[in-house]
Structures are given as structure tokens and as C-alpha cells.
Homo-oligomer: A and B are copies of this chain.
Amino acid sequence: MAKVYLVGAGPGAPDLLTVRAARVLATATVVFHDALVHPETLALAKAARLVDVGKRAGRVSTEQRFINRALVEAAKANGGVVRLKGGDPMVFGRAQEEIDALEAAGIEVEIVPGITAALAASADLGVSLTRRGIARTVVLATARVGRDEDASGWIAAALAADTTFLYMAGAQAAAIAVALIGAGKPASTPVAIVESASLDAAQRWVGTLAGLSLEAPRMHGGPAILAVGEVFAHSRVAALLSPAVAA
């Protein structure tokens, strides 16, 4: 039976890949990868043809159909087909569309999980996402919504949760803070932004929703995740120990 491995590349640092993912890459014949996967991670696929299917702004739906079709065709022609996605494949990766297309074509899919950006940011900040008496619930969300999607769902989840991560938040950070304050989240709620989590180029900024609503920090244009919640008040400690943009 034809098979495709849907593999998480992790948050960025090549050694935050799982041992299983490294092994699958080593025997791959073709790897369809996202735009931001580290060159050292791609180099693990020694014998493979590499196909960059990273999405470009404004061409999302066309590209996804292309990816689905390319995966099916490759799996029918070869063994060792890998679809390599940043972070974990099942978190904001449109994995289900690829899984559904492959299964509809009679192709088996094996998922290899990866470290998602929220966990890498937590490690970078040195802050536990849960903490007895302070935080028992963690939300992973995004303020980016498709044309046909409800824009308010992420706000309700962020209000209900103790600790919230908003993926792909770089350009929208100030607008997110304004929306959360407007919905009733206290303006004094601590926030942290981690850009390029887990990489040497990582940038960290810590502050409050109020400060963020007035002016988002200038980062360096890498993928950024916004963390919101009382646990991040503590992040100042770790942030002071490492390169950080002052709040």
C-alpha cells in the first residue's frame, strides 16, 4: 500500500526534530517541505529530491490543491514520500486537507509529531504554561481567519483560558491586544512575543496587553508567536538572562 509520512519539523532548531523524524527523512526519496524548514533539517534527507511547497501570500487555496495532488502522485510513483511541515503537522498546518486527499486516493498516512511553536516559546522564555493556583488551561489559537470563518472564536477561547498562544501573530500583535482588551481581558495581563523560537536568532519581548496595544515591538520579520497570561509575568526573569527587547 502506498504511504506518505506527514512529519513535524519542529520549531526551527534542527536538533529539536524527533529521532523518528530524522530516521524517516534519512530514507526519504522525495520531501515536500514548507518554506521555513531549517537547511540542516532538509540535509538529513540525503537521498531525497526536495520540493519547496511553501505557501505564498494570496495564493493559499490554489497552492493547497497543488500540494494535495502532488502528494498523491508522488506516493503512487514512489515509496519514501515525506511531507515535512514546520512545528507539529496537526496544529495550524492544514494537515487534514492533505490527509483526506491521500486517504481518498487509497494512500496510507503516518503522522510523526513535532514540537509546536508554543512549547518552543515556553522553553525559550523559561516559563511553564501551567502553574498550580495560577494556570490550568492553555489555548493554542490564531487570529488569522479564512474568508468563510468566524473571527471571534479565538477571542472567546483567549478570555476563557489562563494561558493563550496566538500563532502567526507578528504583524497583528497590536491589533490582537486591542481586541482582547476590548473584549474584557485586563489591560495589565502580561504578554510575551517570541520570534524565531528555538533559533539563535530568537527575539523575545515581554510586557502587558496595554503596552502592546499602543505599539507592537519591532521584531526581525521571522515567525512570531504571542503569549498571553499571568504566567508570563514570570518571564521577565528568564528574558533578562538572554537577548531580549526591553518592554
Contacts and interface: CB of A to CB of B under 8 A. Distances in A.
Interface of A: 8, 10-11, 13-20, 22-23, 88-97, 99, 103, 109, 111-116, 119-120, 122-124, 126-133, 136-142, 145-146, 148-149, 153-154, 156-157, 159-162, 198, 231, 234, 237
Contact of A133 (B103, B128, B133, B149): B149
A92 B162 CA distance: 13
Given A99-B128, A139-B139, A123 B157 contact: no
B111 A123 contact: yes
Q: What 6 A-B pairs have minimum CB-CB distances, sorted nearest first?
A: A111-B123, A160-B160, A96-B128, A137-B157, A15-B20, A95-B128
A149 B123 contact: no
Q: How many copies does the complex hold?
A: 2
B129 A137 contact: no
B145 A126 contact: no
B156 A96 contact: no
18 contacts: A15-B20, A16-B20, A88-B115, A90-B127, A91-B138, A94-B132, A95-B128, A96-B131, A99-B126, A99-B128, A103-B237, A109-B126, A132-B149, A136-B142, A139-B157, A139-B161, A156-B160, A161-B161
* Chain A interface, DSSP helix/strand/loop, else mixed: mixed
B123 A91 contact: no
Given A114-B115, A137-B153, A160-B161, 7 more contacts: A8-B119, A19-B22, A88-B115, A94-B132, A99-B126, A111-B124, A136-B154
Contacts of A122: 88, 90, 111, 113
Nearest to A19: B15
Contact of A120 (B91, B113, B162): B113
B103 A113 contact: no
A130 B237 contact: no
Given A16-B20, A19-B17, A159-B160, A90 B123 contact: yes
| Among A127, A128, A141: residue with most chain B CB under 10 A | A128
